Amino acid sequence: MSEISERLLAGTSKPARGRAVLALEDGAVFEGTAAGAEGEVFGEICFNTSLEGYLEVITDPSYAGQIITMTYPQIGNYGVNPDDCQSDAPALRGLVVRDMCATPSNWRSAMSLPDFLARHGVVAAEGIDTRALVRHIRDHGAQRAVLSTTDADAASLVAKARASESIVGVNLAATVSRAEPAAFTAADLPESQRFALADPAAPRYKVVAYDCGAKRSILENLVRVGCDVTAVPWDTPAEEVLALNPDGVFLSNGPGDPEAVEGTYRQVEQLLGKVPVFGICLGHQMISKACGAVIEKLKFGHRGGNQPVMNLRTGRVEITAQNHGFGLVFPSLGPLVPELSAGFRGHEDDLRFWAKAKCAPVVANERFGRIQLTHVNLNDGTAEGIACLDIPAFSVQYHPEASPGPTDAHYLFTAFTRLMDGRDDYLDIDIATDRLGGWRFAEDAGAEGSVA
């Protein structure tokens, strides 16, 4: 930066800071300036395409082990409200943005994002060409990276990135789970959100939630549809869960490689068929692993709030929020059942085939009987949801709590309550109606309509 530039910045609300350099293991290097805590961190580089909700992204425990790049150019403009945090502290390794706002403007803001990052020791960089970086990740895939404010030597940083640990094979869920069981009820819902969200339903269901890095808003949504939730550590034995006599078991989201979270999916093997089970994201992968499926690492994953997913049972398309780098290989669950798959006998690698065929195919699984493919990603044809037809269990790869993101998939929490009620049609819900449920503006609109 030139002397003139430094003098101009010194007189603004955003004075110049030191250098920050991001280096990838394939040799790509991107330069910017520090925007959070000072230091040097290692992780898998990834990107999120959400236009808002940066705080929810940054505090999502599923980002443990990763350096996040936000594709939206300005981050931090409405500041930070602690009630919107998804965990007690950020679990990500680092943050990369194009422009970091140091002077937020919003009535709910309690502090600026740079101050929040510095307070929690999160190394961050701004001024990086995030468009070029994201194009590079899309072309070359997610990979190991280092973000440093203490070392500006490109060759040194590339060598460090190549020597760093991969997230493959590492149980990151254990690092963000809770240590002891804890109740989560209506008393734990943020008071500051009542201006927008309606009061929760009266509790009718007793749910045990495996916390593999659960986002707070997921537990809140379970409470809002009438669940008394007991959150338990990621490796809680199945017999201890069943001893609580729950109406249902929930499997949460979480970070990293599902193959390494054996302590959870081995318990799920013992729970399936004994109690209704619902899984989200890593929880979806835990059910898949319990059924003997193969999980693959995606090239650059799905992270953002604009992923189109088709519900094959209803034909409705949902715009969904997602955050994952691994996915289910649906054919690995078993051979197709032709009479339940529109007569088709062979598997398709691109699952968008089933959207065109207007069919939700069913396989014969050796462990748990018939399993149906319920949801498909319309961008790349990967599996987004399954339902066990002979036992009460279903799961989705995406995030229906929508924090951040659209509320199209909110119906899945309602579906879980219907599954616990013993209904076979639990997934067949009008999302256009359910997505408005729980919002005060929807209640106000209904009241105005009744007066008219």
Catalytic residue positions, numbered: 281, 399, 401
Are 394 and 368 spatial neighbours (Cβ–Cβ below 8 Å)?
no
List of residues 6+ apart from 433 with CB closer than 8 A: none
The full length of the chain comes to 452
Residue 181 to residue 236: CA distance in whole angstroms: 9
Is there a binding annotation on residue 256?
yes
Is there a binding annotation on residue 254?
yes
Residue 297: count other Cβ atoms within 10 Å of its Cβ.
15
- The amino acid occupying position 216 is R
Is there a binding annotation on residue 285?
yes
Is there a binding annotation on residue 193?
no
Residue 67 to residue 47: CA distance in whole angstroms: 8
- Residue 364's H or E segment, with its range, is strand 362-365
Q: Is the peptide bond before 406 cis (omega within 30 degrees of 0)?
A: no
Is there a binding annotation on residue 437?
no
Q: What are phi and psi of 121, to 5 degrees?
A: 70, 30
Are 17 and 34 spatial neighbours (Cβ–Cβ below 8 Å)?
yes
Give me the residue label for tokens 């950020």: 90
Residue 236 to residue 297: CA distance in whole angstroms: 26
Is there a binding annotation on residue 166?
no
Q: Angle CA(309)–CA(270)–CA(392) in degrees, nearest 5?
A: 45
- Residue 373's H or E segment, with its range, is strand 369-377
Are 216 and 86 spatial neighbours (Cβ–Cβ below 8 Å)?
yes
Are 116 and 19 spatial neighbours (Cβ–Cβ below 8 Å)?
no
Is there a binding annotation on residue 62?
yes
- Residue 131's H or E segment, with its range, is helix 130-140
Q: Which stretches of 193-291 are assigned E, i.e. beta strand?
A: 205-211, 227-233, 248-251, 277-280
Q: What are phi and psi of 266, to 5 degrees?
A: -70, -30
- The amino acid occupying position 83 is D
Residue 90 to residue 136: CA distance in whole angstroms: 26
Q: What token pair was written down for 82? A: 């602690």
Is there a binding annotation on residue 79?
no
Q: What token pair was written down for 366? A: 């050796």
CA trace torsion 78, 82, 86, 88 (10° rounding): 140
Binding residues for L-glutamine: 62, 254, 256, 282, 285, 323, 325-326
Binding residues: 62, 254, 256, 282, 285, 323, 325-326
